[in-house]
Amino acid sequence: MARLTFLFVFLFLFGCAANAPTPSENQSTNTPRRGSLFEPANTPSADLISNARDMIIAGDIVDAIVLLERALRLDPQNGHTWLVLAEAELRRMGFIRAEQFARKAVLFLSTMDQVQAWRTIANALDGRGDAQAARSIRELHNIR
């Protein structure tokens, strides 16, 4: 019984710490191989995203989107850029684009950050008048 208890405790702690398994057969991690030309390792897109957020707050949506697209060209796999782009579209009532950009953001965001993306998707669906789909999203992802 003690051994069983120990085993369950161990598995519980291990399960909390582990991420979902990823393919590993002869496969490198997502760290890119160092090639000969032009690889976006550490990009300055963080500054661009920050500036874009300020622009959105100031109501300068069009210029913010221009900046975000530039950030995407620097680092297309940055989920935050896609998410801020979705939020910018939401601000100017581009609900279809907002939903799609937020769905794209989900691909790259951590599980925790995905919540904001799903929230944006739900808001976009509301904006389009699809309240039922928005409700489903909120329920599925436990969003208030």
Q: Which is nearer to other proteins, 26 or 132 (CB)?
A: 26
- With contacts defined by CB under 8 A, name the span among 9-17, 96-104, 125-133 that binds other proteins: 96-104
Kindly state whether residue 142 participates in binding other proteins, applying the rule CB under 8 A. no
| Minimum CB distance to other proteins, residue 92 (Å) | 12
Question: C-alpha angle with apex 45: 64 to 29, nearest 5 degrees?
Answer: 135
**d(Cα 4, Cα 24) in Å, to the nearest integer?**
30
- The verdict on 27 binding other proteins (CB under 8 A) reads yes
| Phi, psi angles (nearest 5°) of residue 31 | -70, 120
d(CA 88, CA 99): 11
* 28 lies in the binding site for other proteins (CB under 8 A): yes
Tally of CA atoms within 13 A in the half-sphere of 27 that contains its CB: 6
Residues near other proteins, by CB under 8 A: 3-4, 7, 20-30, 32-44, 47, 63, 65-67, 69-70, 72-74, 76-77, 85, 97, 100-101, 103-104, 106-107, 111
